[in-house]
Structure 1
Amino acid sequence: MALTEHQEQIKAQFVAERGFWGEPWESVLKIDPDFVAAYHRMYMVPWRKNHLSPKFKELCYISINAAATHLHVPGILPHIKAALDFGATPAEILEVLELAATLGIHAMNIGVPLLVEVLEENGRTGPAPLTEYQEELKQEFTDVRGYWHDFWNEMLELDPEMFGAYTEFSTVPWRTGTLTPAEKELIYISYDIAATHLYVPGTKLHIRNALKHGATVGEILEVMEIASVIGIHAVTTAVPILSEELDRRGIEL
């Protein structure tokens, strides 16, 4: 079926601003061109305001797509390519992935306080005073990461071995990476706030840290705008399946 003039205009603007076209957008355009236009307008908001550099926007897309709570594999390669095209180095991309790899510790951030609640219901009194080793771990974390938060207290008290291992793991990009402290905090925000994670305590903490390190409100909002578009993966994942079934049935768009 030939595209209408309205559909052609939507496609032309999409290609001009995004630089690519193909499935599933051709199929969606034929069925619901207004949806393609509305999505494109929303996607382009951070690209028109430009508080963040194009390179850093692409690093945020990599973080969100690669994070364990999303793992949208089809989105990773296009954004790696775009980041490299905008001048990102392999070290910067790996650093973003290292930052995103810390997401798993939220099992402890959420689980340990719940464990303490149950222990207190069963008569626990505490907390116990920190040992010299625990105090050293707390100081090391604070020195390298530049902050301390109360949600680390119970983990440090009850499981110092895991806390020590996590401190070493999470501080690698802070010791060897090339992104600024503000940029690191923005990457943390990018996957904490994404709909597939929505880790509220971490989002607030990293907003506070990002502002402390010099990030602007506009930059933080752009990170959130970038994270807001992952709902489109319902379309980009399912429409090819729809198209395959329509082809099997001999139904033309």
Structure 2
Amino acid sequence: MASQHQSSELRAQFNGQLGPDAFHSGWASLLSLDPRFFKASLNLASVPRQKSHLSRKDQALVALAVDSAATHLYAPGIRTHVSAALKEGASVHEVLEIIELSSTLGIHACNIGVPLLVEVLKEEGKHLEDITRPYNERQEELKKEFTEKRGYWHTFWEDFLRLDPEFFGAYLEFSSVPWTKDVEGSGSKGKGALEPKMKELTYIAFDAAATHLYVPGLKLHMKNALGYGATPQEILEVLEIATLLSLHTAHVAAPIIQELISSPSTSSEV
């Protein structure tokens, strides 16, 4: 347990390294229960801020992508990072665009599942006509539209488009919104609020997170990000921010531990 003097020193260090707005109940309970682990966690979280290959605003947006992804949904972090991004000058449109980009994660069920379905059909020798027929005119149009709106094409879309062009078309519309919408004051009509490089860094963030680890998408979006001018150091910083997801284990558990050991009924059994 931390002494009052030690708590004060570590809290001052936290404010200096991450800022007082980043302090929440998870950090508070961890500080009280295990100051050494608190300090180590703080130092780990501080490295990207010290290097700052990305701006403070972009760091907050990347962290928001990790915490708001469907595989994580860490509400305290979402609140912290939205607040930090707005404080650093992000617009509401930029924050919302991170949420919209991160909302595409679910399509990986198809990116992984459809190729496996095709593999099984080939092995079983069934429905081969469905997986070998050439694209019709509508499918060719969808492929062209995807490439124009999203700026790339990948082989893992091929069978998906062949087997279900209706769902592919609906996903194209859904995923293209951040890439094609008009945002007042963005300076780029019909291209969303964030620059393409930042969009790709957002995809990298949630694909690399320990709750997802989607390798095909991660590699693809690294290539895309480099093509839009990202540096290796910027991409590495995104990976480091995604790594901080592991701190949420203690941030969720520490308040529960503190609550239970403070309860008269529980403490009498310990």
TM-score by length of 2: 0.88
**More divergent stretch after superposition (58-67 vs 116-125):** 116-125
Q: Which residue identity is paired with 1:245?
A: L
The answer to whether residue 252 in structure 2 is matched with residue 247 in structure 1 is no
Q: Which residue identity is paired with 2:73?
A: L
Q: Which residue identity is paired with 1:141?
A: F
Find the aligned partners of 1:102 and 1:95 in 2 and give their Cα distance. 11
Find the aligned partners of 2:27 and 2:97 in 1 and give their Cα distance. 32
* Two-structure CA RMSD over aligned residues (Å): 1.8
Quote the residue 2:55 is aligned against.
53
> CA shift at 1:232, angstroms?
1.0
SS in 2 for 1:171: helix
> CA shift at 1:5, angstroms?
4.9
SS in 2 for 1:178: coil
Quote the residue 2:180 is aligned against.
175
Quote the residue 1:37 is aligned against.
39
Quote the residue 2:171 is aligned against.
166
Find the aligned partners of 1:28 and 1:63 in 2 and give their Cα distance. 24
Q: Which residue identity is paired with 2:138?
A: Y
Quote the residue 2:17 is aligned against.
17
TM-score by length of 1: 0.94
Distance change in 2, residues 1:45/1:146 (3 Å): same
> CA shift at 1:9, angstroms?
2.9
Percent identity over paired residues = 52
> What are the residue-to-residue correspondences of 1:143-154 with 2, within 5 Å?
143-154=148-159
> CA shift at 1:145, angstroms?
1.0
Quote the residue 2:186 is aligned against.
none
Find the aligned partners of 1:6 and 1:81 in 2 and give their Cα distance. 28
Q: Which runs of 5+ in 1 are unaligned?
A: none
> CA shift at 1:83, angstroms?
0.6
Q: Which runs of 5+ in 2 are unaligned?
A: 182-191
Q: Which residue identity is paired with 2:198?
A: E
Quote the residue 1:79 is aligned against.
81
2:212 to 194, 197, 200: 197
Cα deviation per residue 1:137-189 (whole Å; 9 max; x = unaligned)?
Answer: 10011111111100000001111111111111111111121211111000000
Find the aligned partners of 2:100 and 2:234 in 1 and give their Cα distance. 21
Find the aligned partners of 1:40 and 1:2 in 2 and give their Cα distance. 15
Quote the residue 1:105 is aligned against.
107
Quote the residue 1:91 is aligned against.
93
Cα deviation per residue 1:11-59 (whole Å; 9 max; x = unaligned)?
Answer: 3211222222453334323432221111111101110111101011111
Contact 2:68 2:102 in 1 (8 A): yes
SS in 2 for 1:147: coil
Find the aligned partners of 2:247 and 2:239 in 1 and give their Cα distance. 15
Distance change in 2, residues 1:73/1:30 (3 Å): closer
Find the aligned partners of 2:171 and 2:105 in 1 and give their Cα distance. 11
Find the aligned partners of 1:137 and 1:2 in 2 and give their Cα distance. 60
Distance change in 2, residues 1:213/1:148 (3 Å): same
Find the aligned partners of 1:86 and 1:214 in 2 and give their Cα distance. 23
Quote the residue 2:227 is aligned against.
212
Quote the residue 1:155 is aligned against.
160
